[in-house]
Amino acid sequence: MSIKITATSTCDLPPELLERYQITMVPLYVSFGGNTYKDGLEAVPEDIFRHVEGGGQLPSTSAVNIADYQELFGALSPSYDQVIHITIGSEFSCCYQNALVAAQDYDNVHLVDSRNLTVGQGFLALAAAQAAERGDDIQSILAMLEDMIDRVDTTFVVDKLDYLAKGGRCSSVVALGANLLRLKPCIVLADGRMTVGKKYRGAFEKVLTDYVQDQLAGKNVDLDRIFVVHTRCDPSIPQDVCDMVRQFGFREVTTAVAGCTISCHCGPNTLGIIFLRK
């Protein structure tokens, strides 16, 4: 049985994994400078950072629309026995709702609301692709994904709140105060929503050491794989975090770069670790 895995571009899996497992990306849209671009195909995070740093307004993002999904499912449904499409969490975007509308005419298209974003969503896409390669049947794969959703642990630390303030997700006064006090909030995904967890204080590099310890020490963690995902950081920073998490015994440590959606909301110098709980 041929099973095709697809996901919205927000899954942020590295290109080598997408190619290795033939996972098809469906781009969201990002708008800035009077134009709209396909995430990852026509615009990358560096374009966003250059635009904002040059004095431009914060870009906006929009979901995969119904017409795009109709085109995708119309192309894939006849070519595969089954198609699984994994979306960014429905609390963050209407991609899942749009996909539901477009998939009504296709009995072999199955939709999964990841209730997550970035490689928290990517974890599901990768697991599904690996299961399909093993020859697992469609019902087994869907059941596995349903079990995984609540076990994905996604957190990240934001160096500065400037982008969150520009996007209206915190006030400029709060952002200024946090920056002056060198506060670095930890953003936690739980029940499909983002909340603020611990607020670290100090230099970004030092904060990340404490953050990794807080997230991993003494927890019931699946040690098969962990992702270190970041927006534009000095290359030494994610490398240092990879070295830290290896000390906990993870069998695979994979670095990923967040795409336009996360970058629009958090800005440069944001880093997270994403793994599965047992």
Per cent of the chain over pLDDT 90 is: 75
Positive or negative, the CA dihedral 87, 93, 96, 98 is: negative
As beta bridge partners, residue 184 has 200
Cα 9 to Cα 29: distance, rounded to the nearest angstrom:
9
Query: Which residue bears the tokens 């990306």?
Result: 25
| Size (the chain), residues | 278
Structure tokens, 137: 């049947």
What the chain holds in terms of domains, given with CATH numbers, is 3-28+63-149 (3.40.50.10170), 152-277 (3.30.1180.10)
Distance CA 160, CA 182 (A): 8
What pLDDT is attached to residue 257?
96
Confirm if 126 and 21 have CB atoms less than 8 A apart. yes
Q: How far apart are CA 271 and CA 269, in angstroms?
A: 7
pLDDT at residue 183, rounded to an integer: 76
Confidence of residue 191 (pLDDT cuts 50, 70, 90): confident
Whole-angstrom distance, CA of residue 116 vs CA of residue 263: 16
Alpha helix locations (H) across the chain? 15-20, 45-53, 66-76, 95-102, 118-134, 138-149, 162-166, 172-181, 204-216, 236-246, 260-266
- Residue 167's pLDDT band, with cuts at 50, 70 and 90, is very low
| Residue appearing with tokens 């119904």 | 66
Q: Is the per-residue pLDDT at 13 higher than 50?
A: yes
Residue 160: is its pLDDT beyond 90? no
Cβ proximity of 63 and 95 under 8 Å: yes
pLDDT above 70 (res 174)? no
Written as six digits, the tokens of 67 are 């017409």
- Alpha carbon distance 148, 241 (integer Å): 24
Q: Does position 172 have pLDDT exceeding 50, yes or no? A: no
* Residue 260 pLDDT grade (very low, low, confident, very high; cuts 50, 70, 90): very high
d(CA 193, CA 171): 20
Tell me the C-alpha distance between 234 and 27, whole Å: 26
Question: Tokens representing 167?
Answer: 């996007």
Residue closest to 266 by CA, chosen among 163, 116, 120: 163
Give the mean pLDDT of 225-237. 95
Question: Of 10-19, 178-187, 199-208, which gets the smallest average pLDDT?
Answer: 178-187
**What CA–CA distance (Å, rounded) separates 173 from 246?**
38
Q: Which two tokens stand for residue 194?
A: 């983002």
Q: What is the edge-to-edge ordering of all strands in the sheet holding 82-87?
A: 24-26, 3-8, 82-87, 109-113
| pTM of the entire predicted model | 0.92
Please list, in sequence order, all residues whose beta carbon lies within 8 angstroms of the beta carbon of residue 3, skipping any fewer than 6 positions away: 80, 81, 82, 83, 84, 132, 138, 141
